[in-house]
């Protein structure tokens, strides 16, 4: 039986990690993630998990320790935010390139400089190309559910890749929400036992991780890495189907909200999607066919499925809580690629919002939807990329 509680996003994620009972956890504090590792270290101290906890001296060391422990054959976790992820960057590629199924919650926070501890998606988007699977979460419940599913996805024999679970710093990590936990036995049963693959400790079958590969083979290795990523989407759906059987909560590659006949649509990630859904409802109430797409699986990106979901839209706005200075926002570039694939060409605009924790309010969604309605009517776009909620 599911237990209904009131918890923060961090507490929910920490409990998912506890239920997965990893073999090794490497921890290093960073705001706003600290609370996850803090709670997890409490579980270790209280004997609720059989985890070896290492407190390391930097995030670079945290991810390095994860790589070592995972190659040694353990189920391995850590968690980080912002500068921590940036410092891990070198080792993120090692974890993915070595096909190590490490699971890591990322509590999204802005990047320096200037220093800012509040939520935006610059950290996760900056790690887009590192070969990790990324699941994004609107609220505490999704962060908890995604964390449990992440173990199944990462450790699936068709995948064996690291997975990052993204949730918004402070907005979700530190807010208390209603949440349904799985029973410990149910969760543990769902996650399943960890099966090591080519562990370093199997001395009868010695293996090498990450040695030098020169131009004669490197590209084949990288091509294979893309191949396995293309298979992850199916596994994500299979795991979601199993999860729905246990919980009744359905997950896809993304969430379609009132999109079926939508003429105008928003594409928006994480907590701000929850805010924008209410505004979509208001527009529907006024007889305007508005809809919303909330990506869940960002890497690998489900281009064809997203394009199909947005096919009825005449005008689409992609809202990015991260920027690519001198370019469009990272999510905009994905959606533009997706639309190109199926030949659909809605008028596609980009809004950058909420950097460094700046609030995203219903009136922002309202302004954007009004602009989209105008664009759909007139066919004319004023500005393709714009910042909202900013003093200029």
Partner 1 sequence: MDNLSKKYLRPRKIPSTACSGCGLGMNHKAVVQAIYDLGLEVEDIVWGTSIGCAGRQTFGTWKGDGFAGTHGRVYAIARGLRLVLPPEKKIILTVGDGDAFGIGLLHLIHSARSNADFTVIVNDNLGYMSTGGQYGWTTPRGSKTDSSPYGMYEQNLMSDGMDVLGVLRNAGATFLARHVSMDGQRAVESIRKGIQNRGFSLIHMVYPCPTNFGSRELGTRDTVKIYNWIKKKAAPLGEEKENTLWATGIYYDASNSRREFSESIHRNIEKIRRTGTI
Distance between CA atoms of residues 27 and 49, nearest Å: 15
Place of tokens 């997706």: 338
Judged by beta carbon, residue 117 or residue 288, the one nearer partner 1 is 117
Closest listed residue to residue 21, CA positions, set 62, 102, 75: 75
Contact 22, 101 (CB under 8 A): no
Collapse the DSSP code of 164 into the 3-class scheme (helix H, G, I; strand E, B; otherwise coil) and give the result: strand
Which pair of structure tokens corresponds to residue 181? 């936990």
Euclidean distance between CA atoms 111 and 234, whole angstroms: 32
Nearest CB to partner 1, comparing residues 38 and 175: 38
Helix (H, G, I), strand (E, B) or coil at 52: strand
Question: Residue 347 — φ and ψ, nearest 5°?
Answer: -75, 120
Q: How many helices and strands, by DSSP H and E, does the chain display?
A: 12, 15
Q: CB of residue 88 vs partner 1: minimum separation in angstroms?
A: 12
> Which lies closer to partner 1 via its Cβ, residue 36 or residue 265?
36
Q: Which is nearer to partner 1, 11 or 35 (CB)?
A: 35
Q: Which is nearer to partner 1, 34 or 137 (CB)?
A: 34
Dist. CA 280–CA 293, nearest whole Å: 11
Residue whose CB is less far from partner 1, 42 or 192: 42
Q: Exposure pattern of 265-278 as b/e (b: 16+ CB <10 Å)?
A: bbbbbbbbbbbbbe
For partner 1, which is the closer residue by CB, 170 or 298? Answer: 170
> Coil, strand or helix: which one is 293?
strand
What's the CA gap between 313 and 21, in Å, rounded? 44
Q: Evaluate whether 361 touches 327 at the Cβ level (below 8 Å).
A: no
Closest distance to partner 1 from the beta carbon of 86 (Å): 8
Chain Cα centroid distance, residue 383 = 29
Q: How far is the CB of 59 from partner 1 (least distance, A)?
A: 8
Q: How far is the CB of 45 from partner 1 (least distance, A)?
A: 5
**Is the Cβ of residue 38 or residue 370 nearer to partner 1 in the bound state?**
38
As measured in angstroms, the least distance from the Cβ of 77 to partner 1 is: 16
| Shortest distance in whole angstroms from residue 266 CB to partner 1 | 34
Q: Which residues bind partner 1 (CB under 8 A)?
A: 27, 29-31, 34-35, 38, 41-42, 45, 55, 57-58, 83, 87, 112-115
For the bound state, the minimum distance from the C-beta of residue 47 to partner 1, rounded and expressed in Å, comes to 12
CB of 113 to partner 1, least distance (A): 7
């Amino acid at each position: 039986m599911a237990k209904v509680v009131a918890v923060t996003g961090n507490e929910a994620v920490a409990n998912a990690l506890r239920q997965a009972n990893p073999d090794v956890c490497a921890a290093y504090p960073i705001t706003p993630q600290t609370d996850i590792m803090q709670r997890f270290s409490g579980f270790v101290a209280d004997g609720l998990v059989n985890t070896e906890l290492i407190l390391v001296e930097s995030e670079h060391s945290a991810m390095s320790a994860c790589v070592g422990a995972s190659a040694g054959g353990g189920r391995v976790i850590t968690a980080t935010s912002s500068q921590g992820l940036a410092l891990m960057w070198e080792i993120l590629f090692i974890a993915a390139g070595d096909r190590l199924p490490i699971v890591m919650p990322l509590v999204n926070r802005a990047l320096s400089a200037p220093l800012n501890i509040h939520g935006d998606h610059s950290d996760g988007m900056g790690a887009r190309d590192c070969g990790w699977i990324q699941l994004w979460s609107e609220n505490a419940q999704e962060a908890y559910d995604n964390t449990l599913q992440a173990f199944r996805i990462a450790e699936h024999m068709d995948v064996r890749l690291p997975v990052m679970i993204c949730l918004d710093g402070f907005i979700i990590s530190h807010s208390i929400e209603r949440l349904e936990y799985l029973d410990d036995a149910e969760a543990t049963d769902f996650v399943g036992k960890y099966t090591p693959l080519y562990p370093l400790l199997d001395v009868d079958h010695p293996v090498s991780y990450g040695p030098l590969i020169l131009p004669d083979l490197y590209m084949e290795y990288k091509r294979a890495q893309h191949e396995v990523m293309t298979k992850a989407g199916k596994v994500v759906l299979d795991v979601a189907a199993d999860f729905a059987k246990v919980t009744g909560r359905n997950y896809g590659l993304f969430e379609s909200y009132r999109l079926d006949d939508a003429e105008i649509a928003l594409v928006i990630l994480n907590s701000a999607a929850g805010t924008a859904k209410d505004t979509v409802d208001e527009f529907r109430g006024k007889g305007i066919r508005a809809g919303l797409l909330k990506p869940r699986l960002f890497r690998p990106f489900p281009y064809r499925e997203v394009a199909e979901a947005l096919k009825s839209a005449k005008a689409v706005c992609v809202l990015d809580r991260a920027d690519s200075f001198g370019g469009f926002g990272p999510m905009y570039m994905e959606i533009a690629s997706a639309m190109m694939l199926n030949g659909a060409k809605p008028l596609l605009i980009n809004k950058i919002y909420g950097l460094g924790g700046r609030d995203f309010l219903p009136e922002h969604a309202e302004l954007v939807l009004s602009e989209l309605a105008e664009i759909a009517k007139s066919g004319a776009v004023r500005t393709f990329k714009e910042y909202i909620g900013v003093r200029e």
